[in-house]
Structure 1
Amino acid sequence: MSVSRQKKVYLPTTTRKNQYITVGFPLTDEFLAAYADLETCYLEFSKLAYQVAEKNDLFNVHVVASDKLPMVRFHNEAYCLPTEEQLRFFYNPAHHEANRLHTIAGYRAKKLKVVFLATGTEIRSHSALFHSHVQKFIAEIKPLLPIKDLTMKVRDHQHISYDFFAKSKGNKETYGYKLRKVDNRYKRRECNLPENVSALNYVTVNLPVGRRIKNQLLASNSTNFSENYQNVADKFIAATKARQLLRVAMVANNKVPLVRNSKYEKLESTNEFQMVGFDPNAEAPAPILHWDDSKIADVLRFVIVASKSDENDEGFGRFMNQVEDALRAFTKDFDIDEEHIDMVIRFHQHLSYKI
């Protein structure tokens, strides 16, 4: 592959783009005391948020007062499906707009979280403009709040997703992406960020355990599948290590990996989330492996985190080419029905800061 092509990764034209930004307002005693009661606080704050958002061309806005974690995916129909720990938003940015308050009766949230879902057709190219609209929202709503010195946390989430086996399904057209760093893209479009921005770039891979994979990898008369999972992990680690991808994880316990910048691996996991922490300063951290050896997982989930050496002005195209090479090597030994199984790859770009 030529040097110029290494700077780009060529993904299916069916690739989906998503962006959403969350702003967390701490719900302190002092903040709550400015309202008649908890329900009034939620209603009046959400009404104010919608008004300020509309002025700043933000048309899909949700106020979450349940402390549940937003998860956003593309869908041609709009849904919001709650679980015990998540709010799963499914929507098409080109068509769907909404204002909605999400609460649990009688529950006092730790923070009021405003979730802005990007709208339009050019999500990635307009990401800086979307972020600047949220910044204007924050600047306008702050003096209207009962507490003037609140410290808010802003999280900007962007990802692109596609089926690794798209060509096997007849989707052969591709488009080249450089996948530039978020802060570099924003600077070029005059969207200013604070100096203390934390950034994280990584890939998640979801491989459904269909009948053919189950028969090949996990079928056993034993009630302990640890050896089977270890065999999968060894193949994955070997394939990624050969491509200098050293920050990797495998999760096979029916939990969703939640990736964080951290100096510690042992973060607090929950019933739905498996915390996966990577120290950005570690040269070659040990692979992170989590599975339930008493059962067969519905999906094998893998994480590959970009290191400092993968970051450059041109973007993460070379990193993604390495990821795809590793996945081709990893999957070639498995009996996968590529015409019917979707192995979804998501390239995540996150940044966060306090304001």
Structure 2
Amino acid sequence: MLKVNSRINLIRKRSAADKVYVPSDARENQYVLVEFKPNLALLELISGKSNNGVYFSDFYRNLSHSFFNLCEQYGFENVSFIAKNKLVRVMYAQEQQVIETQQQILFMYNPEVHTGLRTFFNADLLADKIELLFLATGEQLRLNAPEFHQRVSELITTFSRLMSVDIGTFKIRDHQHLTYDVFSSVKGNKKTVTHGFRPLIKRYQQQSLILPKTNHNMTFAIASLPVNKSLLQFCDIDESAPDPYNPLYTYVSDLFVKIAKQYNLNQLAIVANGKVPIIRQDNEDYLLPKGELLYLGFKPVGSGGLFVSQWDSQNLVDTIKLVFIASEININKRGYGRFVNHLTEALKQLSFELGYKPNKDTVMLRFHQHLMYNLPKANDSSTGI
């Protein structure tokens, strides 16, 4: 009897390890970004003339007008037409706003209350690609994600037919974020929501949305460590030295790696130079600083582990970014929830050892799930849709 009970207890412990208990006040975001390349045939169809490469205002306005008409028909309430050759990013915010820099367009919104139609283009430039941004709105975004994704796909199919653009040239990127303070329960929010984390492609299949067999899944999390007075006291900082903050960043980096490896987390990055880490899945690992962005390429399969550290030892940043990237092993049926739980525990342990006070300090964790694929042509047999 003891053996039977021990076996049951072991099964329960393993099952619990696969589940993730997220604070009930965690913020959800979902957006789908569809991109395609414009060509001269489309330019002449929409604007009535080739324009000889200058003044594309009529082209963009007419094309966006057709897009917005379809959005109204398909029930989308927060969409944007973008032709700026800039990186599109989306974040949760109580106040809706769009921040544009030299390299980025950052959309900040609350999906429960914000709507809008926006157009961004440079009339003097035919963009390398046109991007159609669909921001999910309403409540229960994760539950409604398959239906939202399906409506985007149906709209794009109609749009490609109306514009006489090959459906196979459209690329769809589905992004979902879950953001919360790892110390939320200490601050009084004892309620949690149970998540059985699965790759997006699996979640969609289980809700009867079958996507093309050729696709790319990516999972990672980025934690934000605030640089406060208590953290600065861990190291002697000599303001007269040529690299005064190197001891601080080195200390945090070494401790981060040490704790992460205790939880078998092996694909990591620490960024403390003010740049925005952009994670990419690739056949090779790489590090590519590019202006205000830092591109990090990681291999999902066959990597024995990789640690990337980037900091500016001459300047003190407001926030240190810690990146945890899931490998192919992490996102199998049993490993997914365990990966999230392990990185959460590692982050809590690191925060405690760095002197953060859970009842006062906020350490935000943003969990990312991405899915990307090209829409198949009508005669393509490699798809399930």
Normalised to the residue count of structure 1, the TM-score between the two structures is 0.94
Q: Which of 328, 333, 352 pairs up with 1:332?
A: 352
1:329 is displaced (CA, Å) by 2.1
1:148 is displaced (CA, Å) by 3.6
Q: How does 1:47-58 map to 2 (within 5 A)?
A: 47-58=65-76
Q: Which of 142, 148, 154 pairs up with 1:124?
A: 142
Q: Which of 146, 170, 192 pairs up with 2:188?
A: 170
Paired residue for 1:276? 296
Do residues 223 (structure 1) and 234 (structure 2) align?
no
Paired residue for 2:378? none
Two-structure CA RMSD over aligned residues (Å): 1.8
1:157-180 CA-to-partner distances (Å, cap 9, x unmatched) read 001000112123222222211122
CA contact (8 A) 1:180 1:315 kept: no
**Rg bigger for which structure?**
2
Work out the CA distance in 1 between the residues paired with 2:242 and 2:187: 35
SS of equivalent to 1:126? helix
Give the residue type in structure 2 aligned to 1:223: P
Paired residue for 1:212? 230
Q: 1:261 to 1:102 in 2, by over 3 A?
A: same
Work out the CA distance in 2 between the residues paired with 1:149 and 1:164: 42
Give the residue type in structure 2 aligned to 1:68: K
1:215 is displaced (CA, Å) by 3.2
Work out the CA distance in 1 between the residues paired with 2:316 and 2:189: 31
Give the residue type in structure 1 aligned to 2:347: L
Do residues 155 (structure 1) and 161 (structure 2) align?
no
CA contact (8 A) 1:260 1:276 kept: yes
Work out the CA distance in 2 between the residues paired with 1:169 and 1:94: 24
CA contact (8 A) 1:15 1:162 kept: yes
1:174-233 CA-to-partner distances (Å, cap 9, x unmatched) read 221112211111112221211110010111111121222233347334331333322211
Work out the CA distance in 1 between the residues paired with 2:236 and 2:266: 26
Question: For structure 1, which runs of at least 5 residues remain unmatched after alignment?
Answer: none
Larger mean Cα displacement after TM superposition, 179-188 or 149-158: 149-158
CA contact (8 A) 1:10 1:174 kept: yes
Number of equivalent positions: 355
Q: Which of 29, 44, 61 pairs up with 1:33?
A: 44
Larger mean Cα displacement after TM superposition, 17-26 or 182-191: 182-191
Paired residue for 1:244? 264
Work out the CA distance in 2 between the residues paired with 1:141 and 1:11: 38
Do residues 260 (structure 1) and 293 (structure 2) align?
no
Work out the CA distance in 1 between the residues paired with 2:351 and 2:366: 17
Paired residue for 1:109? 127
Q: 1:229 to 1:282 in 2, by over 3 A?
A: farther
Paired residue for 1:15? 26
CA contact (8 A) 2:286 2:298 kept: no
Work out the CA distance in 2 between the residues paired with 1:275 and 1:216: 30
Work out the CA distance in 1 between the residues paired with 2:205 and 2:184: 34
Q: Which of 198, 202, 207 pairs up with 1:184?
A: 202
Paired residue for 2:218? 200
Give the residue type in structure 2 aligned to 1:15: A
Q: 1:211 to 1:105 in 2, by over 3 A?
A: farther
Larger mean Cα displacement after TM superposition, 54-63 or 243-252: 54-63
Larger mean Cα displacement after TM superposition, 279-288 or 261-270: 261-270
1:3 is displaced (CA, Å) by 1.8
1:13 is displaced (CA, Å) by 0.8
Paired residue for 1:234? 254
Give the residue type in structure 2 aligned to 1:191: L
Work out the CA distance in 2 between the residues paired with 1:4 and 1:230: 37
Work out the CA distance in 2 between the residues paired with 1:98 and 1:315: 39
CA contact (8 A) 2:96 2:110 kept: yes
Q: 1:98 to 1:218 in 2, by over 3 A?
A: farther
1:265-293 CA-to-partner distances (Å, cap 9, x unmatched) read 33433222111111112332330111112
Question: For structure 2, which runs of at least 5 residues remain unmatched after alignment?
Answer: 1-11, 376-385
Give the residue type in structure 1 aligned to 2:350: F
CA contact (8 A) 1:218 1:229 kept: no
CA contact (8 A) 1:259 1:277 kept: yes
Q: 1:135 to 1:218 in 2, by over 3 A?
A: farther
Give the residue type in structure 2 aligned to 1:143: R
SS of equivalent to 1:309? coil
Q: 1:186 to 1:325 in 2, by over 3 A?
A: same
1:314 is displaced (CA, Å) by 5.4
1:57-108 CA-to-partner distances (Å, cap 9, x unmatched) read 2221100111222221222221111111111111111121111101234233
1:345 is displaced (CA, Å) by 0.3
Work out the CA distance in 1 between the residues paired with 2:229 and 2:368: 29
Work out the CA distance in 1 between the residues paired with 2:192 and 2:165: 50
Paired residue for 1:5? 16
CA contact (8 A) 1:178 1:315 kept: no
1:90-138 CA-to-partner distances (Å, cap 9, x unmatched) read 1111121111101234233111100000011010000000000011011
Work out the CA distance in 2 between the residues paired with 1:50 and 1:319: 40
Paired residue for 2:6? none
Do residues 341 (structure 1) and 361 (structure 2) align?
yes
